[in-house]
Amino acid sequence: QSALTQPASVSGSPGQSITISCTGTNSDVGSYNLVSWYQQHPGKAPKVMIYEVNKRPSGISNRFSGSKSGNTASLTISGLQAEDESDYYCCAYAGRRWVFGGGTKLTVL
């Protein structure tokens, strides 16, 4: 049960856009449109930002968007803001189990 592959870190300036990739296999990301993205601030519980590849829960800014192509999912954050600085995790359904990515630290310069 290998973790999904995410870049360890990404950075961007306020107002810019960034994209975080999440690469899995045809047993998880590639098999189901069931990829979620979670934001986690230090010492806090994770919070879902995107579910089912590209859906936003109520209350989540439309600056956050998700997509998927083949075995790779992506999270894009546009109009970067200081409060977006956080850790981000992708998570994919893999048939009666879930697998997380290793996490990406987003730094807003």
Partner 1 sequence: EVQLVESGGGLVQPGGSLRLSCEASGFTFVTYSMNWVRQAPGKGLEWLSYISSSSDLISYADSVKGRFTISRDNAKNSLYLQMNSLRAEDTAVYYCARSYAVTSTFDYWGQGTLVSVSS
Summarize as ranges the residues that interact with partner 1 (CB under 8 A): 1, 3, 32, 34, 36, 38, 40, 44-48, 51-52, 57, 89, 91, 93, 96-103
Q: Which is nearer to partner 1, 36 or 74 (CB)?
A: 36
Q: Which is nearer to partner 1, 55 or 109 (CB)?
A: 55
Do the beta carbons of residue 6 and residue 19 sit within 8 Å?
no
Burial tier of 31 (Cβ tally within 10 Å: 0-12, 13-18, 19+): middle
Question: How many CB atoms neighbour CB 49 within 10 A?
Answer: 23
Q: How far is the CB of 104 from partner 1 (least distance, A)?
A: 10
Q: How far is the CB of 4 from partner 1 (least distance, A)?
A: 10
Q: Which residues pair with 104 in a beta bridge?
A: 88
| Diameter over CA atoms, the chain | 39
Q: How far is the CB of 100 from partner 1 (least distance, A)?
A: 4
Q: Which is nearer to partner 1, 39 or 71 (CB)?
A: 39
